[in-house]
Amino acid sequence: MSNRQIKLMQGNEACVEGALAAGMKFYAGYPITPSTEIAELCSQKLPVVGGKFIQMEDEIAGMAATIGGSLAGLKSMTATSGPGFSLKQENIGYAALTEVPCVIVDVQRAGPSTGLPTAPSQGDIMQAKWGTHGDHPVIALSPTSVRETFDLTVKAFNLSEKYRTPVLLMLDEIVGHMREKIEIPNLDEIEVFDRVKPKVCDDSYRAYRVEEGQLVPPMAAFGEGFHFHVTGLMHDEYGFPSNDSEVADKLLRRIMDKIDNNVDDIVIFEEEFTEDAELLILAYGGTYRSARSAVKKARSEGLKVGLFKALTIWPFPETRVKELTNNIKKILVPELNLGQYVQEVERVVKNTADVYSLGKVNGEAITPDEILAKIREVL
């Protein structure tokens, strides 16, 4: 018994609905195919819930304003695609170091450069990890369906608020533009996390001071009466620049530990048919759907193939993938690039399994039959 709404919805649309359900109140961006529907819908829906939408002058400003909106206390999001994701990188690093929660959606299209604006790709997967300079914490999620886009957008906001860090939501054109049936959960079924605020309002507040045993400092909003300094330089507890090697080391290690010490809370994945599998297909995003179709066909031919769906792309689901190689000695990674995520798989499994890549960059989705052919080849 449910009064949930059943709708035909686009992935990009589900992203906006998820963001609103999570409490987004501010969006700044610069429209770019294939993410434009996200900006368009935010411009229509945010004013209705008392939020604000700003179309900025360019991608860089869109990212900067998103950070500003969050510093002022509002849950903030921006969306883009490849060329814009490149332009946003410096400010993504700024958000990571200044510990400003925000959600950046990248609906991946074929690159490099302007590439194929309307065609799908998963070519930004490594950029999500290493796009901005310096060591920095990264959380990146990648949904495979319209419903997962809704759920993972909520999750992206929750993780960003919980760990005071930017979260990347890596869609691709397949999932972003596809319309499918979705049952939207009621608001009271959705778990929403809000950033922890300082307990008392007095001069003792330090924007970057953590309690003993904690990793995430409580966050005041600009305009609430707290002294609060923000800089992309290494900084002390007050947020003022510091050249002190001890301060720098402590700060960077702490923001990395926020993620590294909470991997179990952040990493989500699903698996099917892995118990007796001789070959594991590890897939994510739109390509996962081709992989699932291929695995079902392979199983009907009696081929022992398992399926792993990485919903959290970064941090990599290392523990479980390592465990699986106790019994599975072959792993195939199909992806819409020339072999990016497969490198991480190779790094993690080392020599415990043979790792195969299936890449495609002509702007079309990988078909189930292409994966099936590769399965037959490597088994």
Partner 1 sequence: MVNQKEIRLSGSGGQGLILGGIILAEAALLDGKNAIQSQSYGPEARGGASKAEVIISDDTIDYPKVEKADLLLALTDKAYHKYIKTLKDDGILIIDSNIELDDTDKAYKILQVPIIQSASEKIGKAMVANIVALGVIRAVTDVVTEEALENAVLKRVPKGTEELNKAALQEGYLLAKASKNK
Q: CA 185, CA 194: separation in Å to the nearest integer?
A: 19
Smallest distance from the beta carbon of 300 to partner 1, in angstroms? 11
Q: Which of 4, 5, 6, 192 binds partner 1 (CB under 8 A)?
A: 6
The footprint of partner 1 on residues 28-57 (CB under 8 A) is 33
**Does 373 interact with partner 1 (rule: CB under 8 A)?**
no
- Rule CB under 8 A: is residue 231 a binding residue for partner 1? no
Per-residue x/- mask for partner 1, residues 106 to 145, rule CB under 8 A?
Answer: -----------xxx--------------------------
Q: Considering beta carbons, is residue 58 or 183 the nearer one to partner 1?
A: 183
Which residue from 60, 303, 361, 365 is in contact with partner 1, where contact means CB under 8 A? 365
* CA pair distance 312, 148, nearest whole angstrom: 12
Interface residue with partner 1 among 4, 5, 8, 373 (CB under 8 A) is 8
Assigned token pair, 240: 């003022």
Q: Tokens standing for 252?
A: 């960077």
| Complex with partner 1: residue 30 or 314, whichever CB lies closer | 30
- From the list 72-80, 248-256, 276-284, 287-295, the region that binds partner 1 by CB under 8 A is 287-295
8 A C-beta contact, residue 198 and residue 218: yes
Best CA proximity match to 170, nearest among 284, 280, 37: 284
Applying CB under 8 A, among 23, 31, 69, 286 the residue interacting with partner 1 is 286
CB of 52 to partner 1, least distance (A): 28
Q: Is 25 in the site for partner 1 (CB under 8 A)?
A: no
For every residue of 134-197, which 3-state class applies, written as one string?
Answer: CCCCCEEECCCCHHHHHHHHHHHHHHHHHHCCEEEEEEEHHHHHCEEEEEECCHHHCCCCCCCC
- CA 241, 166, 54, 75 dihedral sign is negative
Contacting partner 1 (CB under 8 A), which of 62, 82, 111, 368? 368
Q: Which of 5, 58, 181, 222 binds partner 1 (CB under 8 A)?
A: 181
Report how many residues bind partner 1 under the rule CB under 8 A.
23
Q: How far is CA 66 from the centre of its chain?
A: 16
3-state secondary structure of 347: helix
Tokens of 294: 């291929």
Distance between CA atoms of 45 and 123, rounded to whole angstroms? 30
With beta carbons less than 8 A apart as the criterion, state whether 345 and 169 touch.
no
CB of 127 to partner 1, least distance (A): 22
Binding site residues, partner 1, CB under 8 A: 6-8, 33, 117-119, 174, 177-181, 286, 289-290, 292-293, 296, 365, 367-369
